[in-house]
Amino acid sequence: MDIQKNLIGGEWIAGQESIASINPSDTNDVVGRFALAEAAQVRQAVAAARAAQPAWAATTTQVRSDLLQRTAHELFARREQIGELVSREAGKTRAEGIGEVTRASQIFGFFAGEAVRYGGENLPSVRPNIGVQTSREPIGVVGLITPWNFPIAIAAWKIAPALAFGNTLLLKPSEETPAVASELFRVLERNGLPAGVANLVNGHGAVAGAAIVDGVDALSFTGSVATGRKLAQSAVAKMVRVQLEMGGKNPLVVLDDADLPQAVECALNGAFFSAGQRCTASSRLIVTDGIHDRFVEALRARMREVQVGHALAAGTDIGPVINQRQLEMIQRYIAVGKDEGARLIEGGNVLERSTPGFFMAPTLFVDTRNDMRINREEVFGPFATVIRARDYEEALALANDTEYGLSAGICTQSHKHATHFRLNVKSGLAMVNLPTAGLDYHVPFGGTKGSSFGPREQGSYAADFYTLTKTAYIGH
């Protein structure tokens, strides 16, 4: 099997070592082998991006827009083919894989428009005979580090605005999903990406991720809290602008007046689809007394109907978790929950299927307290807990009692409670009668507290991170 290379300065370059990408639905299926970039090659990629940046920033906005639009068109045209690669490498169901590639296409298309839309302001001065103008300029060279759970969508919502606003970049994808990243860069190349403008460096985080901080002007990272904090400390010491999207322990509040079938579907989707491997997953189900028992039984019944299996198999609702390490970590949290006194009432067992993979049944604990580890720490798998609350006020207090603040949801037919929740929950995203997971691409995304740091991603708000604002005073 040929080893796929890294794209540095317009050339596909080999590395001294390589890693295999394994299909989590069938560990006998090797998706590919990929070269690992050592620190010197990361520095080479930074230098290539630095050399290419002035010319790229000097291109017209139409040139940048056209590259992004052509990329969007190819992604959409090939969404089934590339979507299958996403499913094969990341363990998403076929529908999820195709849906993610479609979303990546939409993101590139949106920023094709933003490339010619963004601008500044003409303002009057508070002093006579002076005009004031503000304008946006590219920040320079941007380092991007992306996770495996949305391997093409998250890469798209970082790459597209970086290029739209005249920056150059290097991307380090997760070691779990190098094939998807490689395919995305080949799409960009085919559609006119100039040499050095976007560079791809696969590598271990401790080597490649750490090396990216040296020499870039800005760093956008999506991943774990521990890694994000380390990168932030390093970046701030070097005066590198930082954008971090990290973990969540997202609450879904279900009130007595909720539409029960709707609430159950919100919980099922938010907690367990994509094998629960979403930073916006509903991991804490906070349910008030009057509906608690009916909700739990109805959710258990729906969980038993869900089909767990090979991501590309017909009828699969939930695919595998990403790897053996993640599977074992989730099993450890199940043991922690039992030790803490929570009651496991559904799932949690490792499953065998026709192919060797990392399959497990969706897991539900009840009789939990908010101070338990299983309600404080992100598990990142098909794992949810139920916390009983007396009323809305206690439910809101429980929802806010976390170090995270990414997404939060409420199921209720009360306009009063929905509005109060939306205004008072301490999270960047608030969902009403919807799963906590599920986003639009044209609006800002991000959290509060320990979930996020820095300007928002996506939508027109992305310009706040990927550009610098200049203010000019003109006397006349």
Mean pLDDT per 10-residue section of the chain, whose length is 476 residues: 95 95 98 95 97 98 98 98 98 98 98 95 96 97 97 98 98 97 98 98 87 94 93 94 96 98 98 97 98 98 98 98 98 98 98 98 98 97 98 98 98 98 98 96 96 96 97 96
Residue 378: which H helix or E strand, with range?
A: none
Cβ proximity of 155 and 182 under 8 Å: no
The count of other CB atoms within 10 Å of the CB of residue 393 is 11
Q: Is the pTM of this model over 0.85?
A: yes
> Phi and psi (nearest 5°) for 32?
170, 170
pLDDT at residue 1 in the model:
79
pLDDT at residue 206 in the model:
82
The count of other CB atoms within 10 Å of the CB of residue 85 is 21
Complete edge-to-edge strand list for the sheet that includes strand 141-145: 11-13, 6-8, 198-200, 168-172, 141-145, 218-222, 241-245, 452-453
Q: 38, 266, 279, 378: which one is catalytic?
A: 279
Q: 175, 176, 245, 457: which one is catalytic?
A: 245
- The amino acid sitting at 187 is V
What does DSSP say about strands 26-36 and 3-4: parallel, antiparallel, or unpaired?
Answer: parallel
pLDDT at residue 377 in the model:
97
Which CA distances in Å does 96 have to 155, 266, 321, 386, 447? 16, 17, 14, 26, 24
Active site residue 137: no
pLDDT at residue 205 in the model:
84
What are 464's two structure tokens? 């706040």
Q: Which residues pair with 124 in a beta bridge?
A: 131
3-class SS at 329? helix
pLDDT at residue 185 in the model:
98
Active site residue 245: yes
- The amino acid sitting at 40 is A
Angle (nearest 5°) at CA 160 between 158 and 161 = 75
What are 251's two structure tokens? 């609450």
pLDDT at residue 207 in the model:
83
Residue 429: which H helix or E strand, with range?
A: strand 429-432
